[in-house]
Chain A
Amino acid sequence: MTRIKRDSIAYVLIIVFCIVMLGWGIPANTPDYPGYGAPSDLVPNVSVSVMLFMACLSLFYTAIAIYLKKHIPSAEREFPEDLKDGGGFTQVGRINLFHLGAIMLPCVLLLPAIEYLGYIPASIAFLMALQYVIGCRNWVQSIVVSLALTATLYVVMRYGFGVPVPGPQLF
């Protein structure tokens, strides 16, 4: 998929989001107008309308450029990783869904795990899984880092700030 196609899909998704928000999300989730002041849906409607207008404008602009077969600058057409200069400091680029999923999955699983197993076992398992995903195959290092980090944050939170760690308490 080219960058310009991906950006166009993003604009379409934003337009759909804005229409859903304007048609249902905002009206169904804002209080009724009390009769004074500005209506509570005014600012949300304005902000979503600005998004909708900008997304439509960008999509229209891109469509016209493609239709008229104008030369779209390479910085807008291609991904920075394909450009000769690499695009400078930009973080724009292709989405690596596998990588994103690999990092997000242990983080998402940590939420229920910490509630049911408790902070210490869930955190140790999470950190070991995370290090494995990152590429660490040294088990000794992985265990030492997991134990040290879990214990340090436990002590800092429990005794430094007096905040109970999430899940069942150990001490």
Chain B
Amino acid sequence: MEMIIAGLLDSISPASLMFLILGVSIGVLIGAIPGINGPMAIALFIPITYYMTPLTAIGFLVGLNKGAFFGGAVSAVLLRTPGTPEAAATSWDGYPLTQQGKGEKALRMALYSSVAGDFISTVVLIVIAAPLAAVALFMGPSEIFALISLALTVIAGIGTSSISRGLMAAGLGILFGLIGTEPVTALPRLTFDIYQLGSGLSLIPVAIGLLAFSEIILQLERFTGKNSGQHTAIEFSSKPEDRLLSIKEFFSNIRTLLRGSLIGIGVGAMPGLGAPVASFMSYDQAMKRSKNKQDFGKGSLEGIGASESANSSVVAASLIPLFVLGIPGNLAAAMLMGAFMIHGMQPGPLLFKENAQLMYGIYGSLVLASLFLLLVGRFGLRLFCKAVNIPAMILYPIVIFTCIMGAYLGKSSMFDVGVMLIFGFIGYFMRKFDYSYVAFLIGFILAPEWERALQQVVIISEHNTYMFFQRPVAMILMALTLFVIARTFWTSINSSRRKRMEAAAAAAGEHKAD
């Protein structure tokens, strides 16, 4: 109990509160700018957290992520330009409302739905993470090794249409993650006599390069020479009924919000699915169950609520596998895992045992972040709307220069800036060739832990290769890993065969028509 009180008191210290509000505000602002999303923002701001206490740093980054999720709705509603896939469903109903002059009302619905989904998800995280972590403490190195193997397999499918390319990306990420000092011999490995690699590649330049720098190169490719990046001015109606969201309007959609939140929690807690799945699933369910199906796609508040409550509830839910098992469920969680590691902590069940006060502090910050999101969103809505109009000519140089200085800031080393540029280059090609940079990054982060678990298994078992068969949970997890690989390949082959038949049928049809 003392730990809980001490942790909660830490979360309301002036520094924590200040950085939490700052994180939420910057998150909403950044999320509102088309093309910049939560994980990217975390990658850009992780270097700054070097200079904060662990609680302040995690609180700041969590606030940033929560803010960015709502911020994504701003550009989706006002411009029909979802900066991230999860905001796409919001734009389907948000933008028609903007065209009717009810953009502010749509944004208020998005805000309240986001806060509701986020709050419910945070409560679920708080209630279930610690008990599940207590169970997870019984896991040994065999189970951890098997679990990471399973996670890498599941995650290989994120961000690519091909599981084989996902596995290749994860393999490359693991290879890069192993550069540095080998844990058993304490000698350099894969450093190619480059002494700066002796301590391994830092997460910060790798993440900034892959997530932010490569994304900006791609966005510039679409932007350069085409337009000025200026959007048309957005007009809001001055009528109160078009601007404000009544209590009745909000509560008439409460079932949709609850359903969306539960979908988001379920999807977020499972590694590999992510917010877009939650958002589309929730929207689909809302449309099927709605009494006003015909309004969907034409400016339905219910549609906005379904999408926003689901995608925002993914944020806290994706921390469940991270806190309980030390496995990041999505990119944002992977970046937060990196932030934990930078501050000398290994996410996983031991976190509750070794850093209980900090964990309760993080819980406090998570709840407060929901509250601050409501306040910041409510009072800064019009200001954030202006962010969508920041000229690209000014925005992109700022982001690129921040990437460079962010990479430098971690170790005050220009070598890291070079690493960031190389990974920006690699990231550009990975995106263009459909290799999952998400799988790469998660492989990179999990590789040392995966190898450590394997070394422990080998040493404890004295080279007994049947060790996994003697541990039922490990055996089940390994069997699941094989099942996931087999099933994914089977589905992929079937889907490919079906598409091929469809393509053949279409080609035959065209031939006949000619």
Contacts and interface: CB of A to CB of B under 8 A. Distances in A.
Contacts of B4: none
Contacts, number: 191
B111 interface: no
Interface stretch (B160-168, B293-301, B334-342): B160-168
B401 A103 contact: no
| A contact residues, range | 35 or more
Nearest to A106: B400
B220 A99 contact: yes
A149 B439 CA distance: 34
A36 to B, nearest CB: 6
Nearest to A123: B401
A58 B165 contact: yes
B112 interface: no
Nearest to A54: B164
A2 interface: no
Interface string B383-425: 0000000001110111011101100110010100110010011
B242 interface: no
A157 to B, nearest CB: 7
B455 A37 contact: yes
A149 B401 contact: yes
Contacts of B191: 29
B14 interface: no
A51 B496 contact: no
Interface stretch (B38-46, B243-251, B352-360, B428-436): B428-436
A91 to B, nearest CB: 4
B85 A89 contact: yes
Nearest to A92: B434
A163 interface: yes
Given A25-B190, A43-B451, A7 B184 contact: no
Contacts of A40: 182, 184-185, 187, 189
Interface in B169-195: 170-172, 174-175, 178, 182, 184-185, 187-192
Contact of A93 (B220, B276, B432): B432
B367 interface: no
B458 A75 contact: no
A55 B164 CA distance: 8
Interface in B204-235: 217-218, 220-221, 223-225
A31 B221 contact: no
Contacts of A114: 414
A113 to B, nearest CB: 11
Contacts of A65: 500
A127 B171 contact: no
Contacts of A93: 432
A108 to B, nearest CB: 6
Contacts of B409: 157, 161, 163
B142 to A, nearest CB: 13
9 contacts: A29-B190, A58-B164, A71-B500, A96-B221, A99-B220, A99-B221, A103-B220, A162-B51, A166-B414
Q: 10 tightest CB-CB pairs across the interface, nearest first?
A: A73-B499, A31-B187, A71-B503, A51-B171, A71-B504, A47-B174, A91-B431, A47-B171, A37-B184, A54-B164
